[in-house]
Amino acid sequence: MEKKDLTRLDEWTWELPQSGGMRVPGRIYADDQLIEQVLQDQSLTQVANVAHLPGILCCSLAMPDIHFGYGFPIGGVAAFAVEEGVVSPGGVGYDINCGCRLLATDLKVDEVRSELKRLVDQLFRDVPSGVGASGAIAKLSRKELEQLLEEGAAWAVKRGYGSAEDLERTEDHGALPGADPAAVSDRAYARGLDQVGTLGSGNHFLELQVVDRVFDAEAAKAFGLWEGQLALMVHCGSRGLGYQICDDYLVVMAEAARKYRIELPDRQLVCAPVSSPEGQAYLAAMACAANYAWANRQMIMHLVEQALLRALRISPQTLGLRLVYDVAHNIAKLETHEVEGRPVAACVHRKGATRAFGPGRQEVPAEYREIGQPVLIPGDMGTASFVCRGTEEAMRRTFGSTCHGAGRVLSRSQALKRARGRSIDRELAAAGILVRSQGPKTLGEEMPEAYKDVERVVSVMHGAGISPKVARLRPLGVVKG
């Protein structure tokens, strides 16, 4: 696809006109530089392919961090009418409810600057990370895991790992409704029994950060953020259990697509009607994986607090660790949105995209409702992360959605080739960022050059009025798998 195939709507928005079997146009958020990067892979072809699916509403959306993915592009958003639309595992991805959790403290970075190495080392020891890492709690029984899959983050809170306030500050209170453990395979259960409270590998991280700039003082105050504050961000998902659920249901959906005679421009877009038995089974299993991810991040928050207290030798009251918000980045959700002036029940797929609900929505915690939902957008391990907020504009234009991060420009193999002969951890240390990792391979795959400029990505959505910037968080120390 070429630039001439696109129509520019305004400074931040491009349209891929409806053609062939597309039921709706594509809409892409990008500036001049980012659109050139988007055109380097086949992600816009995937935007067009998604627009072919039955029941799609309004347009096939692409955020500025878009890049090529499985079926749907990563950084893609698509909403389907519940009555005649479909649900597709490719629109959620393998890492179901990969997401972010932002933790704030009462500490000034200047108070602990001399202890940063100790803090990063303690976090690396106490929070299991890496491929196949086992949890810091005992291996669960089948019955315990079934309870976790239904209850989500509340499962951890009931066992003393957090508070009711944490649930209030978690998207969907940390549990999607409709989760059915019976919809999950034995193989997925086996993979999930001992991974609760683990970070995983790849682009997942645990990061010590400083709030180094506030853009919106009113919103920052509402979120409890201030310049010079020590904060932490957790980025991880549903681990092997979520991966297996996606793998299992791709097989189910391939049969369903044939059964319901759904014409697909790409076989990776296998899907089923939302209301069909196959669609309902996938949503029930996906909810289980989403709930697993929320329980996982809740457990990691507890491990983080214990590690900080151990390293700094201070009281919980002095530390003042609290959850700002927790958001999902890979999920399909049943929501009501206004389309052409009427409310429509929709299945909204966000794959590498963040919910960004505006002020007044009941889904936003009461303490943030006047401001809008906190939106967490992580950078890569060498660049800043951002806190933004949802808006009415997002509700009108993107089904309450925005970008989720920087977005890759290099594949993992390309990044490893470029990292050959270099010491990425030393390069980051020279920039003032301490890194701990299970091995050099992950650091090579996830080096800053492998990603787009997150400040530019966030600025596009800020300029478009979708998710205005609230604060910037600069990395001080990073734990990787």
The structure tokens 């709690």 sit at: 137
Residue type, 242: G
Alpha-carbon gap, residue 480 to 444, rounded angstroms:
11
Work out the angle at residue 18's Cα, subtended by the Cα atoms of residues 14 and 20, and round it to the nearest 5 degrees.
140
Alpha-carbon gap, residue 438 to 392, rounded angstroms:
43
Alpha-carbon gap, residue 417 to 277, rounded angstroms:
45
Q: What is the DSSP string of 58-95?
A: S-EEEEEEEE--SSSPEEEEEEEETTT-EE-GGGT-SS
Q: Which of 173, 337, 349, 404 is labelled catalytic?
A: 404
In the annotation, is 404 catalytic? yes
Q: Are 466 and 356 in contact (CB under 8 A)?
A: yes
Pick from 358, 99, 378: nearest CA to 219: 358
Pick from 87, 54, 90, 53: nearest CA to 74: 90
Q: Both tokens of residue 450? A: 């492998």
Contacts of 369 (CB under 8 A, 6+ apart): 359, 360, 361
CA distances from 267 to 7, 59, 163, 241, 263 (A): 28, 21, 44, 23, 9
- So which residues are the catalytic ones? 404
